[in-house]
Amino acid sequence: MPDPSALLRPRDTDALRATLRRMAAEGAAPVLFAGEVHRETLVLSEFVGTRTGNLRGLAVQSKSGLGGASMVAGRPMSVADYRNAATITHDYDAPVLSEGIRSVLAVPVLVDGQTRAMLYAAHRSGSPFGSRAADLLVSSARSLAEELRIRDEVDRRLRLRETQLAGAAGAGTERIREVHAELRGLAASSPLPLQNRLRELADRLAGALAATPPGAAPLSPRELDVLAQVALGCTNSEAAQRLSLKPETVKSYLRSAAAKLGAHTRHESVSKARRAGLIP
């Protein structure tokens, strides 16, 4: 089943694409491209102004090329002459140079100290980047980082809420089991007409939590009484005391219930009875 919070969260790629379009509209550079970082690998996916598809889907490893170096350093880095730059590795010369790119500026998108994406601006001439273009790229990276950080926080709170709700549901289920066992315990020591009514109420309570329809393995009322107590964690002696039975009698009911359910242990008997909708 998909993660509910994942279904609610917009795609980060869309935010990256929108950032690139804003940068293009503000004239950051003739060529712009970007990508998300996945486990220390940058995958280029968004482009403006490119002439070929050679950069699309390019996987840039950490410390490799200008982007890989910037990704690891966590700070903007640039080269004015990509082909002859001695400060970077040249693992990606073919796709970069096929675009005619000469000067490149790479800026990491940092969220809580981790590089989540990379933004690039490039010229097909050897012109160095001016302060306006550099400032625009850096401010765009910061804005995108803040948006991703907010999305992360929303996801964190959703997961926390889901955990809290699951805990509350679990506590509610345990309370229902306690009430169910108490009803069956009361029925065991009540007059016959009241016994039937209390057991009917207990069966309805069990049916409310049943994952499958009841009736898969018919058990006697006494067998169900004993299993309801065992489901709460009672020992044979404790179950016997609650049901006004002898411990040996409890063992006998457990054996017969296990045989009907095709179980080999008391815990397996409880599990199968729950799946059958016989106890909550």
pLDDT in tens, 17-48: 999 999 999 999 999 999 999 988 999 999 99
CATH ID of 4-158, from 3.20.20.70, 3.55.50.30, 3.30.450.40, 1.10.287.3510 = 3.30.450.40
pLDDT score for 41: 95
Ranges of each domain in the chain: 4-158, 189-275
pLDDT score for 91: 95
Angstrom CA distances, 31 to 124, 168, 186, 268, 278, stand at 8, 53, 79, 65, 68
For the chain, what percent of residues have pLDDT higher than 90? 49
pLDDT score for 208: 62
Mean pLDDT of the chain: 86
Of 60-69, 126-135, 210-219, which gets the smallest average pLDDT?
210-219
Rounded-to-integer distance, Cα 185 and Cα 195, Å: 10
* Strongest mean pLDDT among 61-75, 158-172, 187-201: 61-75
- Given a cut of 80, whether residue 162 has pLDDT beyond it is no
- Given a cut of 60, whether residue 78 has pLDDT beyond it is yes
According to DSSP, the β-strands at 77-79 and 59-61 are unpaired
pLDDT digits (tens, 9 = 90+) for 203-256: 777 766 554 444 455 788 889 889 989 988 888 988 888 888 899 999 999 999
Residue with tokens 């009672």: 234
Rounded-to-integer distance, Cα 275 and Cα 278, Å: 8
Would you call 79 helix, strand, or coil by DSSP? strand
What backbone torsions phi and psi does residue 181 show, to the nearest 5 degrees?
Answer: -65, -35
Would you call 40 helix, strand, or coil by DSSP? coil
pLDDT score for 157: 75
- Given a cut of 60, whether residue 1 has pLDDT beyond it is no
More confident site: 43 or 6: 43
Question: How is residue 242 written in tokens?
Answer: 């609650």
- Given a cut of 50, whether residue 173 has pLDDT beyond it is yes
pTM of the model: 0.60
In the structure, what pLDDT confidence band is assigned to residue 5 with cuts at 50, 70 and 90? very low
4-39 b/e (C-beta count within 10 Å ≥ 16 → b): ebeeeeeebeebbbebbeebbeeebbebbbbbbbee
More confident site: 110 or 273: 110
User: Residue 228 in contact with residue 234, Cβ under 8 Å?
Assistant: no
- Given a cut of 90, whether residue 141 has pLDDT beyond it is yes
Give residue 197's identity as a one-letter amino acid code.
Answer: R
Residue with tokens 């179950």: 239
pLDDT score for 2: 46
Give the CATH architecture of domain 189-275: Orthogonal Bundle (1.10)
Question: How is residue 141 written in tokens?
Answer: 């990276």
User: Residue 32 in contact with residue 23, Cβ under 8 Å?
Assistant: yes
Determine whether 167 is exposed, middle or buried from the number of CB atoms within 10 Å of its CB (0-12, 13-18, 19+).
exposed
